[in-house]
Amino acid sequence: MNLVAERRTPRPAGRRAVYIVMAACSVLVVSLVAAVNLAIPKLAASPLEPSAGQLLWIVDTYVLVFGCLLIPAGAIGDRHGRKGALLAGLALVAAGALLSAAAPGVAVLIAGRAVTGVGAALVMPATLSLMLEVTEPAGRPQAVAVWTAATGIAGVVGNVGGGLVLQYLPWQALFLAVAPAATVLGLLAARFAPRGERRPAALDAIGSVLLVAAAATLLDGIIEGPSAGWTSVRVLGALAASAVLLALFVARSLRTAHPLIDPRLFRDRGLRAGSLGVGVAFFGLFSLFYVNAQYLQYAKGYSPLLTGCAIVPLAVGMMVASRRSIALAERFGDAVVAVGLAGIVTGLILISFATASTPYPVYALFLVVLSLGMGLCVPVLSSAVTTSLPQDRAGLGSGLNGATREIGSALGVAVLGTALSSHGSQDFSEAMSFGLRVVAVLVLAGSLLTLSWWRRP
């Protein structure tokens, strides 16, 4: 028995290697969400000539597919092996990135982004599940904190790395750089990741299609609102179709024996509050990522590299606060989540006052306020999601946690981009201020609902 346990539980050195490789894989797929925002000015000026709506789809297609397929991808990992799912996902990430780089038109570029999103969906839940698999129960909340910190810092990595590439090379190079990175990580994962146990898991293909379709039609309605008109048949039809598809998804999930996710699970206050809170936090963060690159390049005149480096202060709060957030929550309880969510709202409002003449140190301070909020609340919220489900459903828990994060990110990009288009001002700073305040109001509303669920009865 002792020999079996010794084989299944890696020694500290082996565990650290697993943590490092899994964190790096998470950073890669999440950083792709942020990095593409830096390419928007070059894409807009490229021979592809994308419209404002198409630019949003280039950013959001990856996030949409990524987020909506995370839960079934987690189930695939549970059923067929998490290590295999991780390696297959990294291969698809590389293939999709190469297709995006070679795209002769917007449609092919969006298709490449979708393929990359499928790969990312396979990678993300496997990383957290494999980390938890090599961690004793008492250390799992801290493992979640490490993983969460990696996903938060990934946005900064994407900005800095993307800025370095785009400073000297065309936008295609941003995608070309992904393929070798995914390949190297695949080799490291093959060497260090545990094989993992296979567990029975239902693959609800119909439910997955309904969820993707519901999210896609919702984004379509939001993105096309400014150009088609908010009262147009196109927009109202898309929003209505999204509501119908979501209702069908819930109804089917309640009736089928093995749903993609059972809505009854959300009777658990921790799962419900954690899922919404994570989505709300990343809604705010990635709306900022979308507008930050354009503000710094268009309004401040920064180069792509300087723009990427200028977002680094976001990492400060995330690294400092996320390391202590779980311990602080154990000591101070619900107040940690409340303070964290309030920090995100405050940061968005402060940044909304930035103009072309705002000194960078002041802007950086605003970023730190928001990042402290993220670092305080997201690890606690993520832990609530993953620990609300039993260990044998770890794939579902990590998939749900990731899905709410990515869907929240996609909606944040769509809402912020739509607000920019709707404002109609030629002054980018004014349009950005309007957009960020809209986002701040929505984050505040979501935060209040999260906290009302989070409080213990």
Q: Which pLDDT does position 122 carry in this prediction?
A: 92
Least confident of 259-268, 281-290, 389-398: 389-398
Q: Which pLDDT does position 152 carry in this prediction?
A: 66
Same domain assignment for residues 212 and 140: no
Q: How far apart are alpha carbons 352 and 432 in whole angstroms?
A: 7
Same domain assignment for residues 122 and 208: no
Same domain assignment for residues 294 and 437: yes
Checking if the pLDDT of 231 tops 50, the result is: yes
Question: Which tokens go with 402?
Answer: 């990731």
Q: Tell which wins on pLDDT, 371 or 77.
A: 371
Same domain assignment for residues 227 and 268: no
Checking if the pLDDT of 456 tops 70, the result is: no
Asked if 262 and 388 count as a contact pair (C-beta separation under 8 A), the reply is no
Sign of the alpha-carbon dihedral angle for 358, 361, 365, 370: positive
Q: Which pLDDT does position 3 carry in this prediction?
A: 42
pLDDT, tens digit (0-9, with 9 covering 90-100), for 91-102: 999 999 999 999
Go through the chain and tell me how many residues it has.
457
Q: Which pLDDT does position 199 carry in this prediction?
A: 66
Cα dihedral 47→48→52→54 (10° resolution): -170
Q: Which pLDDT does position 4 carry in this prediction?
A: 42
Q: How far apart are alpha carbons 259 and 249 in whole angstroms?
A: 9
Question: Which tokens go with 33?
Answer: 């969400």
Percent of the chain at pLDDT above 70?
92
Q: How far apart are alpha carbons 149 and 24 in whole angstroms?
A: 11
At 265 the three-state DSSP class reads: helix
Percent of the chain at pLDDT above 90?
44
Same domain assignment for residues 253 and 330: no
Q: Tell which wins on pLDDT, 297 or 426.
A: 297
Checking if the pLDDT of 7 tops 50, the result is: no
Q: Which pLDDT does position 437 carry in this prediction?
A: 95
Provide the number of structural domains found in the chain. Answer: 2
Q: Which amino acid belongs to residue 432?
A: M
Same domain assignment for residues 270 and 130: yes
Same domain assignment for residues 298 and 164: yes
Asked if 315 and 442 count as a contact pair (C-beta separation under 8 A), the reply is no
Q: Give the residue carrying structure tokens 């795209």.
A: 103
Q: How far apart are alpha carbons 255 and 194 in whole angstroms?
A: 36
At 230 the three-state DSSP class reads: coil
Confidence of residue 322 (pLDDT cuts 50, 70, 90): confident
Asked if 219 and 64 count as a contact pair (C-beta separation under 8 A), the reply is yes
Q: What is the CATH number of the domain that holds 95?
A: 1.20.1250.20
Same domain assignment for residues 38 and 53: yes
Q: Tell which wins on pLDDT, 381 or 9.
A: 381
Q: Which pLDDT does position 401 carry in this prediction?
A: 80
Checking if the pLDDT of 1 tops 50, the result is: no
Same domain assignment for residues 270 and 251: no
Domain end (from 219, 241, 259): 259
Q: Which pLDDT does position 457 carry in this prediction?
A: 41
pLDDT, tens digit (0-9, with 9 covering 90-100), for 353-372: 999 999 999 999 999 999 99
Q: How far apart are alpha carbons 445 and 276 in whole angstroms?
A: 11
Q: Which pLDDT does position 343 carry in this prediction?
A: 95
Q: Please give the average per-residue pLDDT across 83-94, as a whole number.
A: 94
Q: How far apart are alpha carbons 164 and 194 in whole angstroms?
A: 34
Range of the domain at 245: 203-259
Checking if the pLDDT of 2 tops 70, the result is: no
Q: How far is CA 65 from CA 215, 216, 327, 395, 433, in A?
A: 9, 9, 34, 18, 29
Same domain assignment for residues 267 and 347: yes
Average model confidence (pLDDT) across the chain: 86
Q: How far apart are alpha carbons 29 and 455 in whole angstroms?
A: 33
Question: Which tokens go with 86?
Answer: 């991780």
Checking if the pLDDT of 166 tops 70, the result is: yes
Checking if the pLDDT of 194 tops 90, the result is: no
DSSP letter string over 370-422?
HHHHHHHHHHHHHHHHHHTS-GGGHHHHHHHHHHHHHHHHHHHHHHHHHHHHH
Confidence of residue 386 (pLDDT cuts 50, 70, 90): confident
- Residue environment code for 20-34, b if the CB has 16+ CB neighbours within 10 A, otherwise e: ebbbbbbbbbbbbbb
Burial of 301 (0-12, 13-18, 19+ CB in 10 A): exposed
Q: Please give the average per-residue pLDDT across 57-71, as a whole number.
A: 88
Same domain assignment for residues 23 and 65: yes
Checking if the pLDDT of 5 tops 60, the result is: no
Sign of the alpha-carbon dihedral angle for 225, 280, 55, 424: positive
Domain end (from 259, 278, 293): 259
Q: Which pLDDT does position 455 carry in this prediction?
A: 65
Confidence of residue 131 (pLDDT cuts 50, 70, 90): confident
Same domain assignment for residues 309 and 353: yes
Checking if the pLDDT of 187 tops 90, the result is: yes
